[in-house]
A and B are shown apart, each in its own frame.
Chain A
Amino acid sequence: MDYLHDLNTFIPGTIVAIAGLAVLLLSVSRVKINTIFYVTVVSLIAALLFSVRDLFSPVGTSFYDMIAFGGTAAFGTFLVIIATLFCVLISRDYLDAIDHHYGEVYAMILFATTGMVGLAVSNNLIMLFVGLETMSICLYVLAGLIKEEKTGAESALKYFLLGAFSTGFILYGIALLYGATGTVNYAEIAAAADGSMLFLAGVALLFVGFFFKISAVPFHMWTPDVYQGTPTTLTAYFATASKAATFVAFILVLSRMLPEIEGAGWTQALAVIAIITMILGNLIALVQDNVKRMLAYSSIAHAGYLLVGLAAGTAAGYTGVLYYLFAYTVMNIGAFGVIAYYEKNHALDFTDVNNYSGLGYKQPVMGVLLSVFLFSLAGIPPFVGFLGKYYVFAAAINAGMISLAVIGVLASAASVYYYLRVMVHLYFREAHKEYDLIQPGAIFKYALVVLCVLTVFYGIEPVLPGGSLIELLTSYYPLSGSASLLSP
């Protein structure tokens, strides 16, 4: 056992964990909050660089098969860290504005990120559980950051209670799986899987836990309240980083641990959940006036689209989900970022969409950014959101699930209405009264501009010369067996 080699496969996670400890120490000493912010950003950039390096590394497992590296796991790490980085970049100004700018926030974010990285690289049910819990406990704390207000307390308590509940499901599922197979390692479980009642019950409970974490209907109840009560930039963090980590873990479980057992029907179960999630998420989002709640329901709907890719159960499906997660991360953080910016302007209650009237002209750059992010979320080409949807639906069609794809596109057509509604207020209506918006801070603004550039660039990137992201993702699933990308 070569520890240095093993450590080399987990550098991003290590950097983030050490940075978290450092930030915790710094925040109890008399260091300026800005220093803490920069330490966090620099460590995340370092972690990001290493995670980009890992994208191209060979696939394998380390730490006694506890974690996976390379391929899907590396991309999961990359997603988590890039999401965290951008959320931190947009958080400083916002937290300052709402007077909740503490060093501990950054420490909690970094610890949660460590958990997410652990989750995204897990190759073992115990690792999965440890990662999930590390992440969740930190997120419970962050959800209650605005503890003076009722919504903050409600958010934290709701998240904690339901989260603990779902963790219970996962733990019980793990116990049953261990009972059925005598191991917690994915590959060994796959080898020992027998399709017994015990095994199937274990898998079902594990799935329920996952559904809770990705807020799939009917396990989504906590999402709107938590997203509404949490500071907006941290909501972006919840909605993207934690979801990306959980989905990547879900893919690893599905692709490495669960062989297709006769009559087990994972894909049917996933397809059913995907359908009700897409339909319900979009329908409820249609009637939301609060933009944060609207985005919460929209993120539920997006979990539905992602589940379509998982339900396809093919290499193309998993590739599509990874691509979609990237698209979703970029555009969703962007959308939450602009909303956080509007919210900071306390002249009106700027989480109500009816108060967005005429805002697009006050700060043209911000208006254009939000429009791009929303069009992308709606899946309109040529933005990255369209390609994400394209890949998951194409995978479903290729797997013969045409009705699933049709329901998916119709649901997303309905979703266009509520995204357009925001733009109707931004541009088509006159402002209620005269007021000026504050200037966005430089870092905040440029972080959003970078996200916008990514949203546009990755929308047209496939036709540009040179290697593309989808090519890289496809290389993670070499053509073999039933998971072949080329055989329909």
Chain B
Amino acid sequence: MELLLNLTIYLPLIAIVAVLLARKDQAVKQISLIATTVTFFISLPLVFNFDIANSHIPQYITEGATILPGFDIKYLVGLDGLSLLLFMLTTLFGPIVILSSWNSVTKHLKGYYSMLLLLQTASLGVFASLDLIVFYVFFELSLIPMYFLIGIWGGAERIQATIKFFIYTLVGSLIMLVALIYLGYHAGEAHSEFAFTADWRFISSPEYQIGLVEQTYMFLAFALAFCIKVPLFPFHTWLPYAHTEAPTAGSVVLAAIMLKMGTYGLVRVCMPVFPNAFMEFAPWFAILAVIGIIYGALVAMVQKDVKKLVAYSSVSHLGFVVLGIFALNTVAVQGAVIQMINHGLSTGALFLIVGMLYDRRHTRMIKDFGGIAKVIPVFAVMFMITTLASIGLPGLNGFIGEFLILNGAFFSDLYNNHIYAVLGALGVILAAVYMLWMYQRVMFGPITNEENNEIEDLNYREIGLLIPLVLFMVWIGIRSEDFTRYSESWVNNFIEVTETKSIAVLEDAQKTDHPEWAARFYNIDGFTGELEVEFVHINEDPQ
């Protein structure tokens, strides 16, 4: 199994060699498709053999030697309840993005498919790595292929878009690197064996605690990097730009997988490692998340370009995920985890559909379409299901995530105010408005443009690549516990860890000196040994 996990991560990378040596264009595509399909199938046993009851303990661990004696930086990969589903989402999207570019990409094929394969390895590495330095390396590595994908195969303003994307993300992650190094040395002081450790298992464990002042700074540095990646309002400006200019496959990977690295990082690192800062800052992040939800939806409503509309809807949907993460109760965090998958499936599918539309008419403007539902019925059905999933219609996947998040946020004692959930729910309504309105203008009504009579319906390749996504949308929609059970034990366990750690840190802080602002911000003197916050543990199935 350990070997299988590593093979899953590196098979796409190895396939690049074959792609570069291939002589014919057709062979390049076939090799990439085979490699990613095999990657998907060999990753399936990782799910079947997963120990669900112990999903808070990383499994299939591969552990290398430390780079220096006393310096605990090492190759460390494994999967746990948090990463498993995202890992699988990534392997699922591998063959789909390759197939989606089959006919639409014609120039520099070798470079294109190498970049997609490299991106696959980097994304899988991000979700599998448990050493934070290795995590950082994969996190940054994923920028390089995306930079070229947007820059070479993108739209008219691709160059500005890709540079903005690259530098924006890089600034955040470089500041995170400084905090990460500091964290490593800090953790090393607490560790019996090492002077420096980046092992997430130790850093997130209850026996390692960080003082309030350091927690604040490090939390902010990490959260900045992840929030830029998510992107959380007001750091979202790079996203619509990058999405619109990226080729279809680039948008799909960006939306379905790369944005999840941000939310994933918030849950994996920020929550259990900086518990006090996480809890004190939670309302602030909730405000930003709610602003993002509503702002993204409003801006999406007025878009003339379908792709831009979907891009802004991403800002809105990821606001939900952030809202759920910072609510810090089982329901909301579970909802956030499943919503990451949901958003990946539905927004990924939406970008694929927009790409198919663009391939046919070479335009993405809403006004150029209208009435095409009659011309391309199969397409209309696929588009409809995806649209409804994205809105959050009960019975499809989007509903589950949003319901859990809003439910959790409503009762969250960290927010201590129902307004966040209420305003968040407004976002669901707005989502219905902009998505259905867009769908109506594109698909229904009279055909105003002669060219639209000539559009071809989906071919088998396109149906084939949408079917798995639609299947999962329905499956998650009607039997969400098949998926949420993977992360349940993880979420329960780490919310508890967060709780115990924050109490221990506060108790410790009462005995030691701390600056005035920390005393006020964390209310150290008013701390009575128990948190004012009551953690709502709703362990029973929310269905």
Those 9 A-B pairs whose CB atoms lie nearest each other, nearest first: A462-B67, A463-B75, A409-B174, A381-B137, A486-B195, A428-B151, A413-B171, A394-B181, A397-B181
Q: Does B64 contact A (CB under 8 A)?
A: yes
In the bound assembly, the distance between CA atoms of A375 and B170 in angstroms comes to 12
In the bound assembly, the distance between CA atoms of A382 and B140 in angstroms comes to 8
Q: Does A167 contact B (CB under 8 A)?
A: no
Q: Does B531 contact A (CB under 8 A)?
A: no
Residues of B within 8 A of A375 (CB): 144
Residues of B within 8 A of A465 (CB): 64-65
Residues of A within 8 A of B158 (CB): 428
Q: How far is the CB of A134 from chain B (nearest CB, A)?
A: 36
Residues of B within 8 A of A283 (CB): none
Contact of A486 among B70, B166, B182 (CB under 8 A): B70
CB closest chain-B residue, reference A460 = B137
CB closest chain-B residue, reference A414 = B167
Q: How far is the CB of A418 from chain B (nearest CB, A)?
A: 11
Beta-carbon contact of B178 and A393 below 8 Å: yes
A-B contact pairs, 14 of them (CB 8 A): A375-B144, A381-B140, A394-B181, A397-B181, A402-B178, A402-B182, A413-B174, A420-B147, A420-B163, A428-B158, A428-B159, A462-B73, A470-B67, A474-B68
Contact of B185 among A381, A423, A470, A488 (CB under 8 A): A488
Residues of B within 8 A of A417 (CB): 163, 167
Beta-carbon contact of B167 and A413 below 8 Å: yes
Residues of B within 8 A of A462 (CB): 67, 73
Residues of A within 8 A of B189 (CB): 488
Contact of B182 among A382, A397, A429 (CB under 8 A): A397
Q: Does A405 contact B (CB under 8 A)?
A: yes
* Contact (A410, B67) CB under 8 Å given A375-B144, A427-B151, A463-B75: no
In the bound assembly, the distance between CA atoms of A465 and B63 in angstroms comes to 11
Beta-carbon contact of A409 and B177 below 8 Å: yes
Contact of A424 among B75, B163, B171, B195 (CB under 8 A): B163
Q: Does B444 contact A (CB under 8 A)?
A: no
Q: Within residues 39 to 75 of chain B, which ones have a CB less than 8 A from any CB in chain A?
A: 64-65, 67-70, 73-75
In the bound assembly, the distance between CA atoms of A361 and B152 in angstroms comes to 11
Beta-carbon contact of B182 and A424 below 8 Å: no
- Contact flags (1/0) for A156-179 with B, using CB distance below 8 Å? 000000000000000000000000
Q: Does A350 contact B (CB under 8 A)?
A: no
Contact of B152 among A412, A428, A474, A485 (CB under 8 A): A428
Beta-carbon contact of A410 and B174 below 8 Å: yes
Beta-carbon contact of A382 and B137 below 8 Å: yes
Q: How far is the CB of B145 from chain A (nearest CB, A)?
A: 11
* Interface size classification for chain B: 35 or more
Beta-carbon contact of A380 and B167 below 8 Å: no
Q: Does B300 contact A (CB under 8 A)?
A: no
In the bound assembly, the distance between CA atoms of A300 and B189 in angstroms comes to 35
Residues of A within 8 A of B166 (CB): 416, 420
Q: Within residues 289 to 333 of chain B, which ones have a CB less than 8 A from any CB in chain A?
A: none
In the bound assembly, the distance between CA atoms of A208 and B73 in angstroms comes to 37
Beta-carbon contact of A380 and B144 below 8 Å: yes
* Contact (A410, B171) CB under 8 Å given A361-B108, A463-B74: yes
Beta-carbon contact of B170 and A413 below 8 Å: yes
Q: Does A406 contact B (CB under 8 A)?
A: yes
Beta-carbon contact of B170 and A416 below 8 Å: yes
Contact of B134 among A390, A402, A463 (CB under 8 A): A463
Residues of A within 8 A of B (CB): 361, 375, 380-382, 386, 390, 393-394, 397-398, 402, 405-406, 409-410, 412-413, 416-417, 420, 423-424, 427-429, 462-465, 468, 470-471, 474, 485-488
Q: Does B212 contact A (CB under 8 A)?
A: no
Q: How far is the CB of A422 from chain B (nearest CB, A)?
A: 12
Residues of A within 8 A of B163 (CB): 417, 420, 424
In the bound assembly, the distance between CA atoms of A486 and B189 in angstroms comes to 10
- Contact flags (1/0) for B164-201 with A, using CB distance below 8 Å? 00110011001101100110110011000001100000
List 8 extra interface pairs beyond A380-B141, A381-B140, A410-B174, CB under 8 A: A380-B170, A405-B178, A405-B181, A409-B174, A416-B167, A420-B163, A488-B188, A488-B195
In the bound assembly, the distance between CA atoms of A44 and B73 in angstroms comes to 36
A interface secondary structure, majority = helix
Q: How far is the CB of B16 from chain A (nearest CB, A)?
A: 12
Residues of B within 8 A of A486 (CB): 70, 195
In the bound assembly, the distance between CA atoms of A240 and B446 in angstroms comes to 69
In the bound assembly, the distance between CA atoms of A428 and B137 in angstroms comes to 25
Q: Does B87 contact A (CB under 8 A)?
A: no
Q: Does B379 contact A (CB under 8 A)?
A: no
In the bound assembly, the distance between CA atoms of A381 and B73 in angstroms comes to 15
In the bound assembly, the distance between CA atoms of A416 and B148 in angstroms comes to 14
Q: Does B136 contact A (CB under 8 A)?
A: yes
Q: How far is the CB of A283 from chain B (nearest CB, A)?
A: 15
Q: Does B373 contact A (CB under 8 A)?
A: no
Beta-carbon contact of B181 and A470 below 8 Å: no
In the bound assembly, the distance between CA atoms of A165 and B131 in angstroms comes to 50
Q: How far is the CB of A368 from chain B (nearest CB, A)?
A: 9
Beta-carbon contact of B185 and A398 below 8 Å: yes
In the bound assembly, the distance between CA atoms of A429 and B152 in angstroms comes to 8
Q: Does B143 contact A (CB under 8 A)?
A: yes
Beta-carbon contact of A463 and B64 below 8 Å: yes
Contact of B136 among A381, A397, A405, A464 (CB under 8 A): A381
In the bound assembly, the distance between CA atoms of A413 and B516 in angstroms comes to 34
In the bound assembly, the distance between CA atoms of A468 and B73 in angstroms comes to 13
Q: How far is the CB of B399 from chain A (nearest CB, A)?
A: 39
Beta-carbon contact of A485 and B185 below 8 Å: no
In the bound assembly, the distance between CA atoms of A465 and B64 in angstroms comes to 7
Beta-carbon contact of A381 and B141 below 8 Å: yes
* Contact (A397, B178) CB under 8 Å given A380-B140, A463-B64: yes
CB closest chain-B residue, reference A488 = B185
In the bound assembly, the distance between CA atoms of A380 and B159 in angstroms comes to 19
In the bound assembly, the distance between CA atoms of A386 and B181 in angstroms comes to 13
In the bound assembly, the distance between CA atoms of A393 and B73 in angstroms comes to 15
CB closest chain-A residue, reference B65 = A465
Beta-carbon contact of B185 and A397 below 8 Å: yes
Beta-carbon contact of B67 and A468 below 8 Å: yes
Q: How far is the CB of A481 from chain B (nearest CB, A)?
A: 16
CB closest chain-A residue, reference B147 = A420
Residues of B within 8 A of A424 (CB): 151, 159, 163
